[in-house]
């Protein structure tokens, strides 16, 4: 997405780095970015604030922009009655988190675009999400709403004040929800219970949780696997495999270009909202790599390889970092880039090949999407096509691969969806984490190198040893990092160390965790703030608690602390992780769907800083490493002490006394800072990790 200002008359947003804000630069609305200028004007003129929050790949954000923000009539109502502020929720997740609470308190589902009306001192008095230009969908038309709220502001100030007071109190309660419970002790039985309770909501036919719309929820699916590992029963594993298979074969997965769309509007993963988010694909890479460890399948390998290639091709900056999102829309239509008609397929392929791929991917004259177009999904398997045609599966697979290449190359000539090219430090951390595990599981060192390039970029451009920046755009870093940035990046760097064994990544993770504790830990609540302590433009303090589409910073920070304890022997990391998990135990057990990633960190905590230290030359430990990487042992962190190499200060305690047995590579398995006798054969190590 280009960084230059759009042609024609523009508003203040034309000067903003955020691609989402620049999308609104030509609106007739007198937009402000969030900041001192807008807030000061609201106070000086005693005008209410209209706060609109979204992100560049959001389809319904585009719809509301076209219908309302581009309308001179509606813009005049906005400009006359309100100070209008646009916020990119990817830049300010703390503001988004707080004001989403308004919609929750009103008994509605949250989402984007978020539309909230505030007093000049930032207290909300009304809110919603998408509003149409006229009354429909059971929602008031935006012009009518604007007129009613302006009238109330000017003529019923007592009502506005009363509403604002109630909302502020409600937001304060939401911000600390779950923190009033007494600390408890998290147990193995809790992990099993979490998984079994979540399994009750799994769709037995299509996998995933609940019905339409259906989201991947990778951290909650991963928690089902943890519960299975703890003895929760094979039904949990089956639910995971069914979910991953149905997603991989459905329209939510880009069958030509790889990568996952945001979610499906139906219950069978067919028709997605077509935006692609870095954080979704990062978490799903990690999850499909874990599935390969549990039950190896060619489908898992295919999905991971294609998704990594998608990220490399479409979402990687020349400097090595990863872009944030890819849009749902192109040429003014949602999904236009991704869908097909029989005529388009037939024009590109020989008749027999066109018939084969159309049957395989469900391309029909009627279609399954708008205007008779088709979202590609795997309708007929390779095995069934081979039986129908009386040929080998390999022959069908080769023919389909050739057809898919032709269609993909033709699709590349279409107008591509827009891309939000800002680089977020936390989301980069999530992708580093996913790539690092995938590199280990599938034996792809080049993936580890790509992850390392991203890590090097973030550490060079966005971290100075004491301050992490949230966003990098147009050659400059900006916005102080939030807890999720520190936690996600620290988690990604601990994962990266376990495939590169380069101690600089572990040292950076350790420094990030310590700085995060200084900036975000609230000792009175025994919980983490989402924004740095003392942030002055927040109406209430925002705590980082819930795991939503992506993990909360508290969850990824806790995950990093457990791994760091295992990899360095520093008990303080484990103690802080234990303190937080104990604090949140009741909330986690009561609402597992809301704390999926925290459940993963808590499960790792149960094994007491579990780790394996490999000792010996690279050649000597390679068979042991290969064996260990193939085992689903998600609570274990891996380190390597190279024979004859200097021991870094951070690793002296954990490496002390761990030497190869003779000239044989050795693996020291430790839990709770106590180690077992070394294993020297892949079979012995595999059996112990599986047990």
Q: Which CATH number characterizes residue 515's domain?
A: 1.50.10.10
Could you tell me if residue 619 is inside a domain?
Answer: yes
**In a shared domain, residues 464 and 557:** yes
On the 0-12 / 13-18 / 19+ scale of CB atoms within 10 A, 466 is exposed
pLDDT per residue over 287-296, tens digit each?
A: 999 999 999 9
CATH number, domain of 128, equals 3.40.30.10
DSSP secondary structure letter of residue 202: B
pLDDT tens for 201-247 read: 999 999 999 999 999 999 999 999 999 999 999 999 999 999 999 99
- Integer-rounded Cα radius of gyration of the chain: 26
Whether residue 619 sits in one domain with residue 591: no
- What would the pLDDT profile of 12-60 be if each residue is shown by its tens digit? 999 999 999 999 999 999 999 999 999 999 999 999 999 999 999 998 9
Do strands 124-128 and 83-88 pair parallel, antiparallel, or not at all (unpaired)?
A: unpaired
The C-alpha atoms of residue 401 and residue 385 are separated, in whole angstroms, by 14
Residues 459 and 588 in one domain: yes
What Å distances lie between residue 252 and 211, 280, 290, 410, CA to CA? Answer: 15, 12, 20, 21
CA 308, 311, 313, 316 torsion-angle sign: negative
d(CA 602, CA 551): 14
Angle of CA points 316, 322, 324, to nearest 5°: 115
Instruction: Evaluate whether residue 6 is within a structural domain.
Output: no
Q: Cα dihedral sign for 69, 75, 78, 83?
A: positive
Element (H, E) at 684: helix 682-690
Q: Which two tokens stand for residue 248?
A: 């991989």
Domain assignment present for residue 89? The answer is: yes
The number of angstroms, rounded, from the C-alpha of 72 to the middle of its chain's C-alpha atoms is 37
Contact yes or no for 443/394 (Cβ under 8 A): no
Tokens of 543: 């705590």
pLDDT digits (tens, 9 = 90+) for 92-130: 999 999 999 999 999 887 899 999 999 999 999 999 999
Cα 204 to Cα 195, 292, 293: the distances in Å are 15, 22, 23
Pick from 142, 175, 208: which residue ends a domain? 175
Which of 158, 168, 238, 165 has the alpha carbon at shortest distance from 203?
Answer: 238
Give pLDDT, residue 3: 41
In a domain, 5, yes or no: no
Q: Which two tokens stand for residue 586?
A: 């009741």
**Cα 14 from Cα 12, distance rounded (Å):** 5
- pLDDT at 4 exceeding the cut of 70: no
Same domain, 102 and 116: yes
Residue 200 lies in a domain: yes
* 471: pLDDT strictly greater than 70: yes
Spatial distance between the Cα atoms of 464 and 20, rounded to a whole number of angstroms: 27
- Start-to-end CA distance of the chain, whole Å, equals 50
* Tokens 């760097």 sit on residue: 493
Considering the domain boundaries, does residue 183 fall inside one?
no
The pLDDT tens digits for 149-171 are: 999 999 999 999 999 999 999 99
Q: Identify whether the C-beta of residue 554 lies closer than 8 Å to the C-beta of residue 483.
A: yes
Helix, strand, coil tally for the chain in percent (to 5): 50, 15, 35
**Together in a domain, 219 and 260:** yes
Residue 5's pLDDT band (cuts 50, 70, 90)? very low
The Cα-based distances of 150 to 145, 153, 160, 373, 468 in angstroms read: 9, 5, 10, 44, 41
Same domain, 507 and 641: no
**Residue 249 pLDDT grade (very low, low, confident, very high; cuts 50, 70, 90):** very high
Adjacent-strand bridge partners of 463:
468
Residue 601, pLDDT > 70, answer yes
Q: What tokens were used for 57? A: 């790949």
Residue 3 lies in a domain: no
* C-beta separation of 522 from 530 below 8 A: no
Shared domain check, 170 and 25: yes
Question: Does residue 574 share a domain with residue 428?
Answer: yes
3-class secondary structure, 53: strand
Q: Which residues contact 582 (CB under 8 A, 6 or more apart)?
A: 183, 184, 185, 186
Q: What percent of the chain has pLDDT over 70?
A: 99
Cβ 325 vs Cβ 274: under 8 Å = no
Total count of domains within the chain? 4
Q: Is the dihedral of CA 349, 355, 360, 362 positive or negative?
A: positive
Q: How confident is the model at residue 335 (pLDDT cuts 50, 70, 90)?
A: very high
Domain boundary residue among 555, 589, 606? Answer: 606
For 520-525, which contacts have Cβ atoms below 8 Å and span 24 or more sequence positions? 520/483, 520/486, 520/544, 520/553, 521/576, 525/176, 525/179
Neighbours of 415 (CB within 10 A): 10
**Cα 347 from Cα 350, distance rounded (Å):** 8
Of 152, 175, 198, which one is at a domain's C-terminal end? 175
Which residues 6+ apart lie within 8 Å of 157 measured at CB?
none
In a shared domain, residues 130 and 102: yes
- CA–CA separation, 496 vs 383, rounded Å? 38
CB distance 17 to 3 below 8 Å:
yes
Encoded tokens for 163: 């509403």
* One domain, residues 197 and 227: yes
pLDDT at 265 over 60: yes
Show the tokens assigned to 504: 């600089």
**Residue 664's beta-bridge partner residues?**
661
Please give the torsion angle defined by the CA atoms of residues 186, 560, 680 and 671, in that order, rounded to the nearest 10 degrees: -30
On whether both 450 and 492 belong to a single domain, the answer is: yes
Whether 468 is covered by a domain: the verdict is: yes
The arithmetic mean of pLDDT across residues 567-585, rounded, is 96
Does the structure show a pLDDT above 90 at 422?
Answer: yes
pLDDT for 6: 54
Query: 349 is in which domain, residue-wise?
Result: 338-413
Nearest by Cα to 556 from 423, 430, 424, 428? 430
Residues 371 and 439 occupy one common structural domain: no
Q: What is the pLDDT of residue 1?
A: 42
Where do runs of H (alpha helix) occur along 130-233? 142-155, 157-175, 188-199, 218-227
* CA distance linking residue 387 with residue 384, whole number of Å: 5
Whether 191 and 227 have beta carbons less than 8 Å apart is answered as yes
């Amino acid at each position: 997405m280009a960084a230059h200002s759009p042609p024609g008359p523009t508003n203040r947003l034309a000067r903003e780095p955020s691609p989402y804000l620049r999308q609104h630069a030509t609106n007739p609305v007198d937009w402000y970015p969030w900041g001192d200028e807008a807030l000061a004007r609201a106070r000086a003129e005693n005008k209410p604030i209209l706060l609109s929050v979204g992100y560049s790949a959001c389809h319904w954000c585009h719809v509301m922009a076209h219908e309302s923000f581009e309308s001179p009539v509606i813009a005049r109502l906005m400009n006359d009655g309100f100070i209008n502020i646009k916020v990119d929720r990817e830049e300010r997740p703390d503001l988004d988190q707080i004001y989403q609470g308004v919609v929750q308190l009103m008994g509605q589902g949250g989402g984007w675009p978020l539309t909230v009306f505030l007093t000049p001192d930032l207290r909300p008095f009304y809110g919603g999400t998408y509003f149409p230009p006229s009354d429909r969908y059971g929602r008031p038309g935006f012009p009518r709403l604007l007129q009613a709220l302006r009238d109330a502001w000017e003529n019923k100030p007592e009502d506005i004040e009363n509403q604002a007071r109630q909302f502020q109190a409600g937001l304060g309660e939401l911000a600390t929800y779950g923190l009033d419970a007494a600390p408890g002790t998290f147990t193995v039985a809790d992990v099993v219970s979490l998984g079994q309770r979540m399994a009750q909501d799994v769709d037995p036919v299509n996998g995933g949780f609940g019905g339409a719309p259906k989201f991947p929820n990778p951290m909650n699916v991963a928690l089902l696997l943890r519960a299975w590992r703890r003895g929760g029963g094979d039904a949990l594993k089956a639910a995971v495999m069914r979910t991953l298979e149905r997603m991989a074969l459905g329209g939510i997965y880009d069958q030509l270009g790889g990568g996952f769309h945001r979610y499906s509007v139906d219950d069978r993963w067919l028709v997605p909202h077509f935006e692609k988010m870095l954080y979704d694909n990062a978490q799903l890479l990690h999850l499909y790599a874990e599935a390969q460890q549990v039950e190896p399948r060619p489908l898992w390998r295919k999905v991971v390889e294609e998704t990594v290639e998608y990220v490399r091709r479409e979402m990687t900056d020349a400097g090595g970092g990863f872009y944030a999102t890819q849009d749902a829309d192109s040429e003014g239509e949602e999904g236009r880039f991704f869908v097909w008609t029989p005529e388009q397929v037939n024009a590109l392929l020989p008749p027999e090949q066109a018939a084969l791929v159309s049957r395989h991917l469900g391309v029909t004259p009627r279609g399954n999407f708008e205007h008779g177009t088709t979202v590609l999904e795997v309708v007929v398997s390779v095995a069934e096509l081979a039986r129908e045609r009386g040929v080998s599966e390999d022959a069908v697979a080769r023919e389909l691969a050739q057809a898919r290449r032709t269609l993909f190359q033709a699709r590349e000539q279409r107008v591509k969806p827009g891309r939000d090219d800002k680089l977020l430090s936390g989301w980069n951390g999530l992708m580093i984490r996913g790539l690092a595990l995938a590199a280990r599981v599938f034996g792809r060192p080049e993936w580890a190198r790509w992850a390392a390039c991203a890590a090097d970029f973030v550490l060079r451009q966005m971290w100075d040893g004491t301050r992490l920046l949230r966003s990098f755009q147009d050659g400059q870093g900006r916005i102080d990092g939030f807890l999720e940035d520190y936690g996600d990046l620290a988690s990604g760097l601990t994962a990266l160390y376990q495939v590169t064994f380069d101690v600089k990544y572990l040292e950076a993770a350790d420094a990030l965790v310590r700085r995060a504790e200084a900036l975000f830990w609230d000792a009175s609540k025994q919980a983490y703030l989402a924004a740095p302590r003392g942030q002055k433009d927040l109406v209430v303090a925002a705590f980082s608690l819930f795991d939503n589409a992506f993990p909360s910073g508290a969850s990824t920070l806790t995950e990093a602390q457990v791994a760091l304890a295992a990899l360095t022997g520093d008990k303080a990391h484990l103690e802080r992780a234990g303190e937080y998990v104990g604090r949140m135990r009741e909330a986690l057990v009561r609402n597992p769907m809301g704390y999926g990633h925290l459940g993963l960190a808590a499960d790792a905590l149960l094994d007491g800083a579990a780790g394996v230290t490999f000792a010996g030359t690279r050649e000597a430990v390679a068979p042991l490493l290969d064996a260990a990487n193939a085992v689903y042992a998600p609570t274990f962190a891996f380190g390597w002490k190279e024979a004859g190499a200097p021991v870094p200060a951070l690793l002296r305690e954990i490496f002390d006394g761990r030497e190869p047995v003779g000239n044989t590579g050795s693996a020291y398995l430790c839990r709770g800072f106590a180690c077992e006798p070394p294993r020297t054969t892949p079979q012995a190590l595999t059996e112990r990790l599986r047990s």
